[in-house]
Amino acid sequence: MVPPDLKEKNEIGMSPYQLHFRGEKRTDRVHLRLIDYGPETLQERELDSVDDVLALKDSPTVSWLNVDGVHDAKTMEAIARGLGFETLILADAMNTRSRPKIAEYANCLFVSIKMLREEDASEELKVEHLSLVVTEHMLISFQEEMGDVFNPVRERIRAQKKRIRGSGPDYLMFALLDIVVDNYIYIIGKLGDKIEDLEDGLLEDPSKTVIEEINAYKRELNNLRKNILPAREVILNLSKLDSEFIDEEKNAVHFRELVDNINQAAEATSNYREILSDQLTIYHTTISSKLNDIMKFLTVFSVIFIPLTFIAGIYGTNFDVLPELHFRYSYYVMWGIMISVAVGMLVYFKRNKWL
Amino acid sequence: MVPPDLKEKNEIGMSPYQLHFRGEKRTDRVHLRLIDYGPETLQERELDSVDDVLALKDSPTVSWLNVDGVHDAKTMEAIARGLGFETLILADAMNTRSRPKIAEYANCLFVSIKMLREEDASEELKVEHLSLVVTEHMLISFQEEMGDVFNPVRERIRAQKKRIRGSGPDYLMFALLDIVVDNYIYIIGKLGDKIEDLEDGLLEDPSKTVIEEINAYKRELNNLRKNILPAREVILNLSKLDSEFIDEEKNAVHFRELVDNINQAAEATSNYREILSDQLTIYHTTISSKLNDIMKFLTVFSVIFIPLTFIAGIYGTNFDVLPELHFRYSYYVMWGIMISVAVGMLVYFKRNKWL
Amino acid sequence: MVPPDLKEKNEIGMSPYQLHFRGEKRTDRVHLRLIDYGPETLQERELDSVDDVLALKDSPTVSWLNVDGVHDAKTMEAIARGLGFETLILADAMNTRSRPKIAEYANCLFVSIKMLREEDASEELKVEHLSLVVTEHMLISFQEEMGDVFNPVRERIRAQKKRIRGSGPDYLMFALLDIVVDNYIYIIGKLGDKIEDLEDGLLEDPSKTVIEEINAYKRELNNLRKNILPAREVILNLSKLDSEFIDEEKNAVHFRELVDNINQAAEATSNYREILSDQLTIYHTTISSKLNDIMKFLTVFSVIFIPLTFIAGIYGTNFDVLPELHFRYSYYVMWGIMISVAVGMLVYFKRNKWL
Amino acid sequence: MVPPDLKEKNEIGMSPYQLHFRGEKRTDRVHLRLIDYGPETLQERELDSVDDVLALKDSPTVSWLNVDGVHDAKTMEAIARGLGFETLILADAMNTRSRPKIAEYANCLFVSIKMLREEDASEELKVEHLSLVVTEHMLISFQEEMGDVFNPVRERIRAQKKRIRGSGPDYLMFALLDIVVDNYIYIIGKLGDKIEDLEDGLLEDPSKTVIEEINAYKRELNNLRKNILPAREVILNLSKLDSEFIDEEKNAVHFRELVDNINQAAEATSNYREILSDQLTIYHTTISSKLNDIMKFLTVFSVIFIPLTFIAGIYGTNFDVLPELHFRYSYYVMWGIMISVAVGMLVYFKRNKWL
Amino acid sequence: MVPPDLKEKNEIGMSPYQLHFRGEKRTDRVHLRLIDYGPETLQERELDSVDDVLALKDSPTVSWLNVDGVHDAKTMEAIARGLGFETLILADAMNTRSRPKIAEYANCLFVSIKMLREEDASEELKVEHLSLVVTEHMLISFQEEMGDVFNPVRERIRAQKKRIRGSGPDYLMFALLDIVVDNYIYIIGKLGDKIEDLEDGLLEDPSKTVIEEINAYKRELNNLRKNILPAREVILNLSKLDSEFIDEEKNAVHFRELVDNINQAAEATSNYREILSDQLTIYHTTISSKLNDIMKFLTVFSVIFIPLTFIAGIYGTNFDVLPELHFRYSYYVMWGIMISVAVGMLVYFKRNKWL
């Protein structure tokens, strides 16, 4: 796991205005997808170049430009130039290792957040740096690669849902953020299920793999938390923001909804953290109490034989005068004594609850 | 225990305006109960359909409509349409997994909270999502199923208590919330009694079941806490709210009362948490000190026999020349030496407080 | 120890306006004591009924009515009716399980706090719910039973101290609260002395009773803390209050004094908590290092005998051909070897600091 | 160590206006030292009585009256009467167990703080309650006994340093407080040196005295902390105060300086606390890993002899038919087998890294 | 490691205005480097004396004077006199042990921070006290010795980057602080890599060196934290400052950038702290579970031999009448019994999962 917040030596002191992709090297082509919609109209297509979108810049319809791939400085520059954004905005979108943030500019609002999604086939968790730029009539979303969690929104647009088709890019932004947060909750819930399943095997059969699972889940949960807590910060700041690109009155309900959801996500993570930590304690307690039982049993076992072996040792000595050796029933008497001693000790141990 | 804050895969990205029941599947019929009262008048009846309540919408009497069952989208829609509520309000009432919240709308005030109650027969704890909608002349309460904790309020209304009969729906809301919080305190207190009873057996006889009980109570307490802390948040926000549906001056005392009570509930939970954690420590200390005592005893016991067995071993050797074997009292002398060694060691151990 | 914040099942949903005594059942008679004083005048007497005090309601002298016993709803109602208080005020005074609180009303100021005192003879700690009601010319104090900590104030009044005789009921309230807090500090200090005395015996002779004492003191301290922390809250709120019944300018110094004292009390409790927790750690460390020493000694002891017993075992075998048995000094040589082995091991263990 | 915040039984309920010395009994004479200075003038002398200072009350020169000893109520009263202070001020100065505080009065500013100093000869730590009263032209400092840390300031005054000679009593107060805080830093630093020296011996030779040293340093550090944290509170409050006795503009820099220094002191204490707690962990880890090594060695040692002794036991039996006893080389073969078993076990243990 | 916040005995009570170097003694010459630039002009040279810079004081170009070495009071005084700074400013620059701080003066803004850098050859970490003084046309940077992290900024100036060449000293200050913070992130990242590499060896082969490495990294991380947390405080204060020497509007973006970066640095340190603490727990768990396995094996091993040795002991006794000794196959039967006992015990232990 490469730590996500490292700085390469050659990146130190770089001007914040320089468009420089910070992340793993990529070479795949950048995809541009456009959905342009109004209450009555809808067009959806793949773009070959950024120029195609410029015409829509001032049209009253909502244009959602989705950019899959932020590693190509040239495309990014074309977008910045074409739409009149400051380079700093796109520099933030390209720095996929940066923390979620929110920033207001003269002609747009910038929001970045980490998008978590489960790859359909492999159920592997993908973390992507998602940046949204909202202008008066447009929303541009930047993702690191193809594949996202936004299909329900696309479906809602296609299904001509009145609310989304009749609202501006601010509503679209809420819809997208809402899905991102919904996915947080879904992913935490799935991890939480696995964590709660652990509990059953914990008391009965605390094998060594359990502790490794607990540690793995803990790390996974920390990983989620590192993404969710800054997201909460961003969303809380968003709800306090007084921006011209968001119609606050119309969206008050969505703000509240979003804050509620992200809070629920954050609470769930800390709940599962506590559960994991309790499980760890239970594991250690069970293991050590089991070991104690074994050691106690073995110690008691060997202690019982100690006086018996001693007695046998006595009658193994070669003294000329050792009267007991010569009585007729001595040997049987010795056995009798031995058995009484052993039984006596067992009774004593039982009574003291040592067994 | 199904985690209460999970999201199903198909719920991701659903519009917040869609009426969708989130909770365990249900099919039972929705019950509508109406109590309509004023200083002089009182009527109480079961309704067959929502239409019956519409007539009372603007009548000056207080109408309390209680809805048992929120899983039926059709009934909910009928209520929303009939009373002119935004669908979002009822969507929140139907999402029984959502966090307690408070929201103000143009024509009503929405409060949701978790209602805890003990089923009379089984003493089982039930957690229900309770939503209250307060308008100028009405209070509508939504519960997940039949059975609630509100009978004392119903009795007070029937008994023609001047204060409740002469006040508006805001007073009714306080009365209901107060009972919910009273039940929190009662339930915590009962759990607390069980926790404090644990203490007695803890030092004398720390059996294994104790630790399981402690863990069970801990989980139960955490469960309560997860419901009570957000409730406190809601009640504190309610007391700061400046809403047209609440006569603040008249209700100042009830606000204070409610805040005091919910604080008492929250304090009690953390008190019992600390007690449980102390008990856990005491348990472990007792267990381990008991084990230490056993191991010490056994070790001392076996150490005493070691030199004795060694002496017997010496005189079990078959050397041709081993003078002691041939003296007359050798055997008895050996016994004498053995006993002295054992007694000497016992005394030494006693003196050093090893026994 | 009955938990102080429980709710009985039949108390749930009771109207907050109902006068209902919450605490242990009592039947003793309620005592009313009146001290009426001005700069020049002083009268002190036991009252038979509340009516006697009504005449003094508007007299410019300060009337201090002390009520010992709040379990009798009739007397309380008589007071409420006679002096024109809201019933809620006296309901709070009667609910001896409620948290300390402060509340302002149209014609009076209500303050409740827990009074801790040591019974003179038995040195037993008593916790009482104390309520003070301050009006323009009166102060009414409600206690659960006879016996309190206010004698120094009574003495100051009798001794004609100018300051107290010349001030209003607000100064009297400060004087009473000050004594309550002084008693907190005194009681914590006494407990603290006992805690610090523990320390001496801790390193030398950590007997089992020590741990029980530590646990007992811990519980006692938590008990104090549960009373003192809410008291601090109340006093801090009092100092921020803008009430017509308190002359803030004149009493600024007393506010500060009181806040300082209650802070000192709170700090002392957390100090002693830390000391106790350190002592617990020291106890466990000492105990376990002592056990380790014993186990190490015993293990080393038995390990030394193991090779010796083995050697004796060798020469106890009955082989036909075992040359060493037949040499003249074999037996003595065996002893020599045994002693060398034992001494060698002892030296080795000493060198490695295992002994 | 007498706990510093105790209240004697007879001090409960005492009027805050009564001059009553709270601390250890003292009988030594009170010393009054006066330094009176202006830009051009300087006189320094011991006073016999307070009256000598009254003449200087309104003179424009700065008069610094230092009072060594606050146990004598008569002298204190004379000062209060002579300079027109409220008795409460001097009551605070006499209560040497009270917390550091700051209070503003009509004709003066009162600041109290704990002065820590190292006695020159014995290097023993002395804690004194220092009170400063600042009026327009005077500063009166109250100490518990002779000997203080203020000589550098006296030197600066004598050396005619322009800044101090040209400023008022507020600057003098800063200079004194600054020295008090400088001494905090110096004393913490010295203790910190001792703590860091501990570290070296910790891994190599964790003797028992180390743990006692750690505990002693911990207590010492807590003691410092108990004095420094309230001092920080006082200094922060001082910097927010808007008093007529402090020229805020001129002294802004000193405020900042002082706050910086006290923060540094507070940070240093928590740093050393963490270091101590880490050392404790390291100590326990080292001790227990050392014990584990010993126990492992001893166990392995005795386990190796167990099968050997068993083999010898076999051939010590007295069966009529035991063929091996009668072969010529049996005895040597037995030795061979024993040695092979021992070597085999050693190899096995080594391979598994058990040794 | 000399603790950085100590005070020497002779420094106590020193006037804050005295120029006194606090740090390790130094004798090397102070270096003065000047870069003077405007949009069109650039000159770069070593200065022999401070006088050379005075001419540039009011020229509209930006003059960056870098001072390597702050131990020479004479040079510092010359700078203070020449540029009209208060001596206190340079006293802070010379006190290399002081905390990072920010202070505003009439003619300049003072910022100090700790500069961390890795020496190129040795990869050793260097901590230097960096002070920046910003005036209208100048920035003076004070470092403890030659060598810094500012080369990227120098390169940007030389490369005629429009933004830096066209901005004032405030932009230069941001560029310098940004590099300092970039270096924090880089250094934490490098340490973090080493910490994460530890993890692999932790579960498989927890040698003793691992724990020493963990402790070393912990100390290193604490050391970083002690420098970074106060730096964050300074930068947050800087972003709230309303100073005439900073053009807030132009630099808003840089403020945000800087705050984001320092927050990232702080978050990374706490992340790695948690990882280290988890690793410590894993280490201890692994070690102790390994030890438990060994002890369990050894105990089981010896317990199996105990009854066998006892049986051999029985037949080693010398009773006259011991019938079993005289049967023909007794010896073999004894072996059979022994083997059955051993196998039986092994099976029993296996079944109970004790092996």
How far is residue E355's CA from residue E352's CA, in Å, rounded to a whole number? Answer: 8
Contact across the interface for E299 and A295, Cβ inside 8 Å? yes
Question: Residue D161: its pLDDT value, please?
Answer: 79
Architecture of domain D9-284: 2-Layer Sandwich (3.30)
Rg (CA), chain C: 35
How far is residue A342's CA from residue D106's CA, in Å, rounded to a whole number? Answer: 89
CB-side exposure of D337: number of CA atoms within 13 Å? 13
Fold topology of B291-351: Methane Monooxygenase Hydroxylase; Chain G, domain 1 (1.20.58)
Contact across the interface for E98 and D300, Cβ inside 8 Å? no
From chain D, the residues in CB contact with C189 under 8 A are: 3, 5-7
Min Cα–Cα distance to chain E from A35, Å: 31
From chain A, the residues in CB contact with E320 under 8 A are: 325-326, 330
List the subunits that have 3+ CB pairs under 8 angstroms with A.
Answer: B, E
Min Cα–Cα distance to chain B from C330, Å: 7
> Which CATH number is associated with domain D296-351?
1.20.58.340
From chain A, the residues in CB contact with B330 under 8 A are: 319-321
Contact across the interface for A318 and B313, Cβ inside 8 Å? no
Residue B6 has pLDDT above 70, yes or no: no
C–D CB contacts, 8 A cutoff, strictly below: 128
Mean predicted confidence (pLDDT) in B65-93? 87
Choice among B103-117, B245-259, D125-139 with the minimum mean pLDDT: B245-259
Residue E12 has pLDDT above 70, yes or no: yes
Per-residue pLDDT tens digits for B253-263: 788 888 888 98
From chain E, the residues in CB contact with A329 under 8 A are: 321
Residues paired with B112 in a beta bridge: B101, B131
Contact across the interface for D303 and E301, Cβ inside 8 Å? yes
Contact across the interface for A193 and B291, Cβ inside 8 Å? no
**Facing residue for A103 by CB, picked from E151, E163, E256:** E256
Task: Walk along chain C (355 residues) and give the pLDDT tens digit of each residue.
Answer: 334 445 677 777 777 777 777 777 777 888 999 999 999 899 999 988 888 888 887 788 999 999 998 888 888 888 888 888 888 888 888 988 888 888 888 889 999 999 999 887 777 888 999 999 999 999 999 999 888 889 989 998 998 878 889 899 999 999 999 999 999 999 998 999 888 888 777 766 777 778 888 888 988 998 898 889 889 989 988 887 888 888 877 887 788 888 888 988 998 898 888 888 888 888 888 888 888 888 888 889 989 999 999 999 999 999 998 999 999 999 999 999 999 999 999 999 999 888 7
What is the pLDDT confidence band of residue D6, given thresholds at 50, 70 and 90? low
| Chain E residue with the nearest C-alpha to that of D292 | E291
Residues 6+ apart with CB under 8 A from A171: A163, A164, A250, A251, A254
From chain C, the residues in CB contact with D302 under 8 A are: 302-303, 306
- Select from B97, B276, B281, B331 the residue whose CB has the most chain A CBs within 10 Å, as the one to mutate to test that interface: B331
Question: Residue B4: its pLDDT value, please?
Answer: 44
**Facing residue for C16 by CB, picked from B150, B257, B320:** B257
Q: CB pairs under 8 A, 24+ apart, for D152-161?
A: D152/D179, D152/E12, D152/E13, D152/E14, D153/D179, D153/E13, D154/D35, D156/E13, D156/E15, D157/D35, D157/D37, D157/D42, D158/D42, D158/D44, D160/D42, D161/E15
Contact across the interface for C12 and B263, Cβ inside 8 Å? no
**Facing residue for D303 by CB, picked from E12, E215, E298:** E298
From chain E, the residues in CB contact with A220 under 8 A are: none
What is the pLDDT confidence band of residue E280, given thresholds at 50, 70 and 90? confident
Min Cα–Cα distance to chain D from E251, Å: 27
Residue E3 has pLDDT above 60, yes or no: no
**Do D183 and D115 touch, CB atoms closer than 8 A?**
yes
Min Cα–Cα distance to chain D from E316, Å: 4
Contact across the interface for B3 and A321, Cβ inside 8 Å? no
Closest CA to B132 of B73, B92, B83: B92
- Select from B310, B352, B355 the residue whose CB has the most chain C CBs within 10 Å, as the one to mutate to test that interface: B310
C-alpha angle A235-A236-A241 in degrees, rounded to nearest 5: 90
Contact across the interface for A12 and E309, Cβ inside 8 Å? no
Token code pair at residue D143: 């100490």
**Residue labelled with tokens 């006093």:** C235
Q: Where are the domains of chain E?
A: 9-284, 294-351
Contact across the interface for E16 and D299, Cβ inside 8 Å? no
Higher pLDDT, C71 or B57: C71
List the subunits that have 3+ CB pairs under 8 angstroms with D.
Answer: C, E
Mean pLDDT across chain B, nearest whole number? 86
**Facing residue for E321 by CB, picked from A3, A98, A330:** A330
Choice among A112-126, A181-195, B79-93, D3-17 with the minimum mean pLDDT: D3-17
Choice among B49-53, D220-224, E259-263 with the minimum mean pLDDT: B49-53
Min Cα–Cα distance to chain B from A335, Å: 18
Class of domain A292-351: mainly alpha
Mean predicted confidence (pLDDT) in B209-220? 86
List the subunits that have 3+ CB pairs under 8 angstroms with E.
Answer: A, D
**Facing residue for B312 by CB, picked from A192, A263, A310:** A310
| Chain C residue with the nearest C-alpha to that of D87 | C253
| Chain B residue with the nearest C-alpha to that of C328 | B321
Residue D1 has pLDDT above 60, yes or no: no
Residues 6+ apart with CB under 8 A from D203: D282, D286, E212
Contact across the interface for C267 and D5, Cβ inside 8 Å? yes
Contact across the interface for B330 and A319, Cβ inside 8 Å? yes
Min Cα–Cα distance to chain A from E178, Å: 7
List the subunits that have 3+ CB pairs under 8 angstroms with C.
Answer: B, D
Per-residue pLDDT tens digits for E162-195: 888 989 999 999 999 999 999 999 999 899 888 8
Contact across the interface for D7 and C186, Cβ inside 8 Å? yes
Concatenated DSSP letters for A60-126? SSEEEEEEE----HHHHHHHHHHHT--HHHHHHHHBTTSPPEEEE-SS-EEEEEEEEEE-TTT--EE
Min Cα–Cα distance to chain E from A326, Å: 5
Per-residue pLDDT tens digits for B195-208: 888 877 776 677 77
Per-residue pLDDT tens digits for E282-300: 888 888 888 888 888 888 8
Question: Residue E2: its pLDDT value, please?
Answer: 38
Per-residue pLDDT tens digits for D148-186: 889 989 998 998 778 889 899 999 999 999 999 999 999
From chain A, the residues in CB contact with E182 under 8 A are: 7, 11-13
From chain B, the residues in CB contact with A192 under 8 A are: 3, 6
From chain D, the residues in CB contact with E300 under 8 A are: none
Contact across the interface for D253 and E88, Cβ inside 8 Å? yes
Question: Residue C6: its pLDDT value, please?
Answer: 57
Q: Is the CATH number 3.40.50.2300 carried by domain E294-351?
A: no
Contact across the interface for E192 and A298, Cβ inside 8 Å? no
Higher pLDDT, D319 or E257: D319
Say whether E96 sits in a helix, a strand or coil. coil
Closest CA to E78 of E68, E87, E69: E87
Say whether B40 sits in a helix, a strand or coil. coil
Min Cα–Cα distance to chain B from C354, Å: 18
Min Cα–Cα distance to chain E from A152, Å: 33
Mean predicted confidence (pLDDT) in A106-125? 87
Per-residue pLDDT tens digits for D70-102: 888 888 888 888 888 888 888 888 988 888 888
**Facing residue for C316 by CB, picked from B263, B317, B321:** B317
Contact across the interface for E196 and A103, Cβ inside 8 Å? no
How far is residue B7's CA from residue B10's CA, in Å, rounded to a whole number? Answer: 8
- Select from B294, B303, B329, B335 the residue whose CB has the most chain A CBs within 10 Å, as the one to mutate to test that interface: B294
Q: Is the pTM of this model over 0.90?
A: no
From chain D, the residues in CB contact with E241 under 8 A are: none
Higher pLDDT, C28 or B7: C28
From chain D, the residues in CB contact with E225 under 8 A are: none
How far is residue C129's CA from residue C97's CA, in Å, rounded to a whole number? Answer: 8
Highest mean pLDDT among C277-286, D119-128, D282-291, D335-344: D335-344
What is the pLDDT confidence band of residue B183, given thresholds at 50, 70 and 90? very high
Per-residue pLDDT tens digits for A267-326: 889 888 888 888 888 888 888 888 888 888 888 998 999 999 999 999 999 999 899 999
SS3 content of chain B, % helix, strand, coil (to 5): 60, 15, 30
**Facing residue for E307 by CB, picked from A103, A305, A317:** A305
Question: Residue E208: its pLDDT value, please?
Answer: 72
Residues 6+ apart with CB under 8 A from E234: E100, E101, E102, E111, E112, E113
